[in-house]
């Protein structure tokens, strides 16, 4: 049984819904960020810091955050970089603001993620129907970094991109969905959230009072064994809409613009 409708807005997950990465991209982005930190940080004596030393600091800071019950992707890039500075007893070669902006965007130009053409087509169709579209993503990058990246690729135009590093919470926590609801000016019950992850996107949306749809179109892009969502035992709930193409959302009366 599909979810009730019509919904007045759509929220899209980012990874493996709007964007996807190829084999090894996560490692490449980690390396890109370490190289950037090598340019942003120096010892108090003014000498460069080694990559291994910086990597150790990053791992230690992230481990400490997790012991405090905080995921690193829920921390804004600027204070995150400052934590590395403090751990290394180092100093910045640029202003804190510039360091935060640079760290937020690191790797996007060097190793850009792929844009799902289905998402581009869907967002354009919804914009034409006056149905607002927002993105909700667990990411260590700020909204401004993603909006700039998408503009450079002539990709979907989102009303907003709600990021875990700016909200301070990640999916499936209700707060990140609540922020999307606030940005749209709509109650959760009028928003359909679409994403590829069962726990994050389906259960998270339900917990926040959103409608939900499980998108399977990019599951083939997962690294083997990366996520458990392909297990049928997790996806056989008859109350969850399951789609293999994002354009399926345009059929029927599932989505409708708000009456003027």
pLDDT at 3 over 60: no
SS3 43: strand
pLDDT (0 to 100) of residue 230: 59
Predicted TM-score (pTM) of this structure: 0.93
From the candidate CATH numbers 3.40.50.1000, 3.30.870.10, 3.30.565.10, 3.30.360.10, the one assigned to the domain spanning 9-21+113-250: 3.40.50.1000
240 or 116: which leads in pLDDT: 116
Average pLDDT over residues 142-164: 93
pLDDT (0 to 100) of residue 233: 56
Dihedral (Cα; 53, 59, 63, 69), 10-degree rounding: 130
pLDDT at 193 over 50: yes
Q: What is the pLDDT of residues 88-106, one digit of tens each?
A: 999 999 999 999 999 999 9
The token duo for 241 is 């809409």
Average pLDDT over residues 180-190: 96
pLDDT at 121 over 60: yes
108 or 229: which leads in pLDDT: 108
C-alpha–C-alpha distance, residues 251 and 27, integer Å: 39
Dihedral (Cα; 172, 192, 118, 155), 10-degree rounding: -80
C-alpha–C-alpha distance, residues 165 and 142, integer Å: 7
* Angle subtended at Cα 189 by Cα 194 and Cα 231, rounded to the nearest 5 degrees: 35
Question: Considering the chain, what percentage of its residues have pLDDT values greater than 70?
Answer: 93
pLDDT (0 to 100) of residue 74: 97
Beta carbons of 49 and 131 less than 8 angstroms apart: no
pLDDT (0 to 100) of residue 2: 47
Average pLDDT over residues 68-88: 97
């Amino acid at each position: 049984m599909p979810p009730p409708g019509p919904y007045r807005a759509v929220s899209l997950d980012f990874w493996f819904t709007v964007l996807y990465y190829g084999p090894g991209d996560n490692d490449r982005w980690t390396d890109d960020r370490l190289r950037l930190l090598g340019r942003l940080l120096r010892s108090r004596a003014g000498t460069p810091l080694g990559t291994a030393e910086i990597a150790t600091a990053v791992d230690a800071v992230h481990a400490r955050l997790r012991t405090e019950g905080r995921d690193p992707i829920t921390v804004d890039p600027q204070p995150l970089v400052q934590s590395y500075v403090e751990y290394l007893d180092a100093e910045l070669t640029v202003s804190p603001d510039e360091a935060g902006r640079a760290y937020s965007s690191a790797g996007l130009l060097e190793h850009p993620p792929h844009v799902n053409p289905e998402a581009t087509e869907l967002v354009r169709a919804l914009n034409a129907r006056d149905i607002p579209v927002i993105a909700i993503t667990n990411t260590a990058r700020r909204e401004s970094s993603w909006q700039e990246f998408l503009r450079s690729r002539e990709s979907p135009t989102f009303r907003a991109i709600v990021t875990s590093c700016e909200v301070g919470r990640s999916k499936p926590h209700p707060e990140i969905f609540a922020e999307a609801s606030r940005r749209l000016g709509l109650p959760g019950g009028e928003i359909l959230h679409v994403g590829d992850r069962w726990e994050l996107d389906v259960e998270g949306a339900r917990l926040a009072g959103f409608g939900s749809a499980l998108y399977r179109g990019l599951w083939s892009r997962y690294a083997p064994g990366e996520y458990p969502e392909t297990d049928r035992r997790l996806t056989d709930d008859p109350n969850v809409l399951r789609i293999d193409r994002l354009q399926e959302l345009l059929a029927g009366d599932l989505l409708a613009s708000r009456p003027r």
